Amino acid sequence: MKTREGFRERTFPEALEAALSGNTDALYKLLARLSGLPGQRVNQGMLDAFAVEVTPLGKKADKLLHAMIVLDADFAPGGSAFEAVPVCAVHVLGLRGRDAASRAFCLNLLHAACDDLRFRVRDAVPVALAKIGEVAGDALVTDIFPFMDGYFHAAAATLALGRPELLDATTDGELVVERLRQAFQLVKDAPRSASRYPGHKALMDALLLSPPRVARRYPALVTAEIEAWGSVRDPALRQIALGIAKKLKERHGEEAERIKASLDRTKPVPRDPTLIVQGTRGRGKKRGLAGRGPKGT
């Protein structure tokens, strides 16, 4: 990992010390001022500098990181400069969690950040998980099992699995694919109304994006898994399998053809319009109403 510089801002040490004691006002205002928000993205240099300063503090920073993660969206709405505060915390957790002794604490807070109302906070979680996985490897893939309990959480875990920092550190391909399978099962078992949920859409997008990346390391395992996905009847889920096959075509042409062949074999038979019986809707009086006279007779 590249060496990063800490804060050059002269007021930072005092603001951080006050925040560690429970008075976060000065620190939050400083981070907001340097955040680069409102804008396209949070100032990466600030994120790195904050991590350099806070990560070595260990447990001394636990309460502060928790407070930053759960910072109320009314105080720090999405798109505002104060949105950078929880994003900074997520960034630190990704580095702090590389230490096995701190990992459970960090994963619990990252789990909480997955369904944050602010998309920049949610988007930072897969990056943080992958940073942990760069050191933890298969152990992190095991530890993210609790993330498979919700749409946004599973989306974060699925996206992390496709990032090279984590993926290249794994050796247990079956475990990686098992996590993908669990994410797919979550949308497969979802009620129809769930398609309107933002988290459901996020997971569907993640399922389309990550498997082709995982296939670069575990092509045979991923292909076999996606073939099974193609056997479902839900058109939206079949479309995911087809989309993955298209992405695999350039690098893994044979595997892509196997997935497409599986989709063709399990394609629902189109309805024959000549067999559809027309005009069966009742047009007469409702049952039980026939013979009734006017009210009061």
Q: What CA dihedral angle connects 153, 154, 158 and 163, to 10 degrees? A: 10
For 52, residues 6+ apart whose C-beta sits below 8 A from its C-beta are 4, 5, 6, 7
Q: Report the amino acid identity of residue 169.
A: A
User: How large is the angle between the packed helices 235-248 and 219-229, nearest 10 degrees?
Assistant: 150
Confidence of residue 248 (pLDDT cuts 50, 70, 90): confident
Per-residue pLDDT at 297: 44
Q: Report the amino acid identity of residue 253.
A: G
Distance CA 33, CA 291 (A): 79
pLDDT tens column, 128-143? 999 999 999 999 999 9
Distance CA 268, CA 226 (A): 18
For 123, residues 6+ apart whose C-beta sits below 8 A from its C-beta are none
Distance CA 212, CA 243 (A): 10
pLDDT tens column, 57-88? 999 999 999 999 999 999 999 999 999 999 99
Confidence of residue 260 (pLDDT cuts 50, 70, 90): confident
Confidence of residue 279 (pLDDT cuts 50, 70, 90): low
Q: Which of these, 266, 262, 265, 181, lies nearest to 218 by C-alpha position?
A: 181
Distance CA 182, CA 116 (A): 22
**Structure-block tokens of residue 240:** 């995911």
**Over the chain, what is the mean pLDDT?**
90
**Cβ(42)–Cβ(84) under 8 Å?**
yes
Cβ neighbours around 110 below 10 Å, total: 27
**Cβ(201)–Cβ(186) under 8 Å?**
no
